[in-house]
Amino acid sequence: MLKVVALSLLLLALSACSANSDNDTIDFNQDYGHFYDLRKEFHLGNISYDDLLNISYYNNDGTDLNWELFDNFMIKDIGSIPSDINHKIKVSLANNIAEYNNLDLAYYGEYNDYYAIKVRDTTKTNISYRHIGGITLEYIGNEIKLWRESKEESSPSVEDYGSFYNLEEIYDTGKLSRNDLLNIAYYNNDGIFYNEDSYNDFNLIKKDLLNSEIENMIKSSYANTIEEYNSLTIYYYGMYNDYYAIRIDSSLENEAGIVVTKVIDGINLVYSGRLIELFKLDN
């Protein structure tokens, strides 16, 4: 009996040593991936409307806060976070073993290679609400962040793939409907804000992902140099009648902090930086 107990204690000790040895080999300077703001990635077109609604379902414990948006919506089963991704995210968050072991991640699914997570913190009890694309998320403590593994980026090119158009001028020609304009305002303003009285009989057109190839074509068509291409950020508000509604910001110019209100046919579009415009591929 004593031999069995001694052997068990020895195995436990060896197991603990092995675990500590594994932890000791973690390189907290390893660049596994990066964190991204959920709202910004939605506006960039990297997260779709349905993705965001799915995240809200799991974050809000159901449809209560956005019940009117879930008609005919199929909830995506998110499963559990892959163990290797969980490890890499924790390494990205922590500076040492103690922080790594104390991290408790809530998981809300994987969307377009982005993992939606939140760091649970029982010391925080404050409740806050965030409105993104007309969808409400309730937070207790920390907000949801997106994490994506580091990827090698392909070398950009600078050539014309299409043309840019003034939003108001195209609207005045009738090539965009009032409902299209309301959708652009809806996604730009994160909901019906600033236009509450204009959304009677509104038909929401769900904003899909902005294809990375299209994003590259927009940047290539806009930029004159590789430096300018690399400075560009494309915000995406949906596609209407083959026109991509976008807003372009450049890190080479200091326009992001300037708040702009553009009124088209009584519809307010409120944002910072350059005006919203349209892009259409050449035939």
5-20 per-position pLDDT tens digit: 444 444 444 444 444 4
Task: Give residue 139's pLDDT.
Answer: 97
State the Cα–Cα distance between residues 187 and 48, nearest whole angstrom. 11
- Token pair of 173, please? 């020609």
Task: Give residue 8's pLDDT.
Answer: 47
Q: pLDDT over 70 for what percent of the chain?
A: 90
Task: Give residue 110's pLDDT.
Answer: 98
Average the pLDDT over 269-282 and give the result.
Answer: 94
The pTM of the full predicted model, rounded to 2 decimals, is 0.87
State the Cα–Cα distance between residues 90 and 86, nearest whole angstrom. 6
Task: Give residue 9's pLDDT.
Answer: 44
Task: Give residue 23's pLDDT.
Answer: 54
Q: Which band of pLDDT confidence, cut at 50, 70 and 90, is reported for residue 177?
A: very high
Stretch among 66-80, 145-159, 238-252 having the lowest mean pLDDT: 145-159
Task: Give residue 158's pLDDT.
Answer: 92
| Average pLDDT of the chain, as a whole number | 91
The SS3 call for residue 272 is strand
Average the pLDDT over 163-178 and give the result.
Answer: 98
- Token pair of 154, please? 């392909």
Q: How does DSSP classify residue 160?
A: -
pLDDT > 90? residue 94: yes
